[in-house]
Structure 1
Amino acid sequence: MKTIGLASVFVTIAVAPVLAADARFVASLGRLDPQTRLEQICDYEAMDRIGHSGTGYHPDRAKSDVMTAPQHLGDLLVGTGAAFRSDGHWYQFSFKCRTARDHLKVLSFEYKVGAIIPETKWNSYGLWR
């Protein structure tokens, strides 16, 4: 019985910083203009979905506007020239991201990972190590 109690305390302690970071991120979104907020919440969702997809990627950065600007269609953001960084490499990806009207919650997200972006092109796309 004590083992179960200790395990649940450990899980609560281990998860608390992650939940706090999410709350801080959502709070900071409220200070952005609606278009930037839409892009930021979708970039964040891309990192989360790709990172938890079981494909071995570990994104620490995503940008929806690397090769082409995304299309803003109300609460839908469509990107064909996006990129994410994983383990020091940048990869192309495309996506469709639908959010709530306030752009603070993602309702649906579809994506497709493309090719690795050669380091020789990073500078022209505004990417970094």
Structure 2
Amino acid sequence: MDNALRAGLLKLDPQTRLEQRCDAEVLDRITQDNRQYRADRVVAYAFATPQMTTDSIRSPGAAFRSKGEWYRLKFKCETAPDHMEVLDFKYKIGAEIPKDEWTRYNLYD
């Protein structure tokens, strides 16, 4: 995590910090683990409402954008109590989402 992201996260309330930290982890992990993707956006609530606890998010209906295309995604992210360090993270990439469905799920170019 770079210093700008760290400084920005520290200004957020705890729940928003958890969400933003996990979103950043999604983007980093997908891009690092799968050279075919360059993830630049994630929408945790595209197909289902994320389930949150004090220090974790489970998002069974997320989506991420890579190279102008959107893909289905499931992820679980657990952080330390300050929501700055990710302790556990798992994800699974699903199918590409057809462009004619983007508006229905609040996805955009």
The TM-score bracket by the shorter chain reads over 0.9
TM-score (norm 1): 0.79
- The answer to whether residue 95 in structure 2 is matched with residue 123 in structure 1 is no
Segments ≥4 residues shifted beyond 6 Å: none
Name 1:36's counterpart in structure 2.
16
- The answer to whether residue 85 in structure 2 is matched with residue 105 in structure 1 is yes
Letter in 2 for 1:28: G
Higher strand share: 2
Larger of the two Rg values belongs to structure: 1
2:5 to 25, 34, 42: 25
Name 2:37's counterpart in structure 1.
57
Sequence identity, in percent?
A: 48
Q: Distance in 2 between matches of 1:41 and 1:64?
A: 12
Structure 2: tracts of 5 or more residues without a match:
none
Name 1:12's counterpart in structure 2.
none
After superposition, what is the alpha-carbon deviation per residue over 1:45-99, rounded to whole angstroms, capped at 9, x for unaligned?
Answer: 0111110113511101112121112111121110001111001000010011000
**Equivalent position SS for 1:52:** helix
Aligned residues: 109
Q: Which has the higher contact order (CA 8 A, sep 6+)?
A: 2
RMSD: 1.3
Structure 1: tracts of 5 or more residues without a match:
1-18
Instruction: State the shift of 1:43 in Å.
Output: 0.8
Q: Distance in 2 between matches of 1:93 and 1:54?
A: 14
Q: Distance in 1 between matches of 2:68 and 2:51?
A: 27
